[in-house]
Amino acid sequence: MTTETIFARQMNMAEHIELVIESTQVGIWDWDIETSKVTFNEQWAKLIGFKVKELLPMNFDKLLTKIHPLDVKTINTIIAKHFNDNSGLYSVEFRMLHKMGHYVWIQANGKLIEHSLNGNPKRMIGTHVDISQKKVNAEKLETNAQLLYETQHIGKLGGWQLNLKTNELFWTDETYALHDTSPTEFNPTYDAGLDYYLPESKDILIEALDKAINKGIGYDLELQTYTKKSRKIDIRTTCVVTLDQGVPTYLTGIFQDITDHKSNQRKLEQANIDLLKANSDLKFSSNYDLLTGLPNRNLLTEKIEHTIQQSLQSNTLVAIAFIDLDCFKNINDNYGHHVGDKFLKVLSQKFKTTIRECDTISRFGGDEFVAVINRLTNQVDGEKLISKLLSIASEPIKIDNMLINVTASIGITYFPSDNSNPDQLLRHADQAMYKAKQDGKNQIKKFNIKENQDVITLNEKLKRITQALEMKEFVLYYQPKVDLRTKSLIGVEALIRWNHPVDGVLPPAMFLPEIENDLLEIEIGKWVIETAFNQSKKWTDLGHDIPISVNISPMHLQHPQFVSDLKSTINGYPDFKGGSIEFEILETSALKDINRVSMIMKKCNALGITFSIDDFGTGYSSLTYLKQLPAKYLKIDQSFIRNMLDDIDDKSIVKGIIELAKVFNLQVIAEGVETPEHGDLLLSLGSHIAQGYGISKPISNLEVLPWLKVWKEKPFLIDGSI
């Protein structure tokens, strides 16, 4: 091989090495220690943003100026150590200043390759590699690891993994901490981990692990376990199954300490239980006699009202029996009140087992009881059952080894023969009971309707009112409702009047109380609705959109046929426009069965009927009531409006109701507006819909349109007339 060939090959090898160095972006440097001169390749200069010629001449001291001041000492220390032991290649990481003003991380590797004749270091060569991105990644990784650790520690959250091939169980540091142990104290295994769970939790976990291992089904459980220090904790443990060709190979999951959460949850559950019990006790105490457990007066009235409605719908009789024990005072006087109380408790249970499930026995007070016997087809059946109560009352009862007995006097009245309201029925039964006492006690007396002038008078009035309906003597008057801001008419309230042929026009107070809880109340309600629909159509045909609101009685609203009757009426008016008819209900109407009333209202809403809650503030004013009932308007009772100019309490009540209405997204209508000053005050309080004598008295259908013309020209006529 010729010299030229060898030289050519050497040149090719050098070029090849140069290409490799360039492609790997490795900087090469050569340091002549005796002269301090440093030489380097293009890539070395490029690492810090320069070209070779920009850095020349370069010596070691100048090189050190390019290194971060905090790293210079480290470099000098490592080089000095390398000079002393010459132990092969050294490596160090440091920062070098880039031409652009920032620092880049460099990994330097170097080796002393030549000594002088006196043995001193003479020449060192090495490489520089840019590891800035590696450093950034390492810092991110360290930050993420630290955040993960802190997050797990704060969240009391640890991890675990079970290798199903080797059966090795791995716990993270936080999992050890949750179990009050460490890797040096405890070697977690499948069996050792299970042994610390409470029996019920252990069974649940074993079953879940079996499904995970054999079927590949993960889990998410809340269990109880003991730590290594015998501290009981609640944990959440999850499991995700890793499959290899359908076969479970790893189970991976978390452990989380949820002791505080479960403790709070149990406290909340117990608080809810306590609250429910307190509410139940409160409801019981308000509706039931604490001594006997029987319904009290409050619940009795509801029972009678409900039974009366059933009677009207099913055409059956209801017996109201008032029971008073004869000479019961002697028991308390002779044996003490504690014996008397025991006697009443035993007798109450005997009464309760004597009547039917559909009937009611109530303790009215002291030694008085009331029985409500319903679903009777005749009075004879009622008297048979009540005779049993009379017999039961006279049977001896053993109290504290003493046989004690009394008798009873019972008065009965029957609905609908006695067509009275619940309070009147009780009074009539009470009157009959006193008659039984007067006639010798220990007997039953029936209320004589014919001899009772009140009943006679009521029946006569009902008969005349029925005749008035048939003779079309009733008319509707209309009281306008206006927007105080624009002075525009937004609707009218329909108010019934009796155009009596002898006594003239009678207000509703003269006849509506007489028909309360009577079927006639429903018939008149139907007439009012039909008349309002008819009047609405007439005004619409004349080009006037005047919504009409109608007052609906509680009995009528809750009648089973109410919605179907309303549908039939609407079907008779094909051009009926939703919102043109509105129903007003008293705020006490739905308290007996708010869920049922709410359902009825929603059905009416679906037919295009809106609702107002009338006379708000005079009844119970329940927030639950406002929340559940789908009404559009809230009418403030006129008693508050009339006096609010002079009475600061009434003004505060009005303001409170307005704000309350906003919460429930209800519009407010103020009744009883009598002067412009009333209107101004309402506007300042945030209410703009009003009605009252200062706007207009109730007027006939023929007067509404003329009134409207005058109102637009001159609102607030003080006398309310046109």
The per-residue pLDDT for range 652-679, each reduced to its tens digit, is 888 988 988 888 889 999 999 999 999 9
Q: Which residues of 452-464 are buried (b: 16+ CB within 10 A; e: fewer)?
A: beebeebbeebee
User: What's residue 21's pLDDT?
Assistant: 56
CB atoms < 10 A from the CB of 91, how many? 11
Q: Which domains does the chain have, with CATH numbers?
A: 3-130 (3.30.450.20), 153-261 (3.30.450.20), 288-451 (3.30.70.270), 459-713 (3.20.20.450)
Number of H helices, E strands in the chain: 25, 26
Contact 295, 288 (CB under 8 A): yes
CA distances from residue 361 to 288, 319, 326, 539, 680 in whole angstroms, order as listed: 11, 12, 18, 54, 55
Across 531-646, the runs of DSSP E, i.e. the strands, are 548-551, 581-586, 610-616, 633-636
CB atoms within 10 A of CB 12: 10
Q: How far is CA 84 from CA 75, 78, 119, in A?
A: 14, 10, 11
Query: Which residues does residue 635 pair with via DSSP β-bridges, in sequence order?
Result: 669
pTM: 0.45
Q: What is the pLDDT of residue 9?
A: 53
Identify the pLDDT of residue 721: 37
R_g over Cα of the chain: 48
Cβ neighbours of residue 427 closer than 8 Å, sequence gap 6 or more: none
**What's the token pair of residue 265?**
């949850």
Spatial separation of the C-alpha atoms in residues 216 and 247, rounded to whole Å: 8
From the number of C-beta atoms within 10 Å of its C-beta (0-12, 13-18, 19+), residue 250 rates as middle
pLDDT score of 7 = 47
Structure tokens at 694: 């200062």
Cα 294–299–304 angle (5° rounding)? Answer: 105
How far apart, in whole angstroms, are the C-alpha atoms of residue 525 and residue 572?
17
Q: Are 507 and 697 in contact (CB under 8 A)?
A: no
In whole angstroms, give the CA distance from residue 696 to residue 709: 13
**Spatial distance between the Cα atoms of 566 and 543, rounded to a whole number of angstroms:** 25
Q: To which residue do tokens 């007339």 refer?
A: 721
Residue 393 burial (C-beta neighbours within 10 Å; 0-12, 13-18, 19+): buried
What parts of the chain have a pLDDT lower than 50?
A: 6-8, 10-11, 14, 718-722
Q: Tokens in use for 111? A: 């080796």
What pLDDT is recorded for position 498?
95
Q: Is the dihedral angle over the CA atoms 603, 604, 606, 611 positive or is it negative?
A: negative
Q: Which residue has the tokens 């004349």?
A: 542
Q: Decide: 386 and 412 in contact? Cβ < 8 Å.
A: yes
Nearest to 718 by CA among 674, 673, 672, 671: 674
User: What is residue 637's predicted lDDT score, i.e. its pLDDT?
Assistant: 85
The predicted pLDDT at position 722 comes to 32
DSSP-derived 3-state class of residue 252: strand
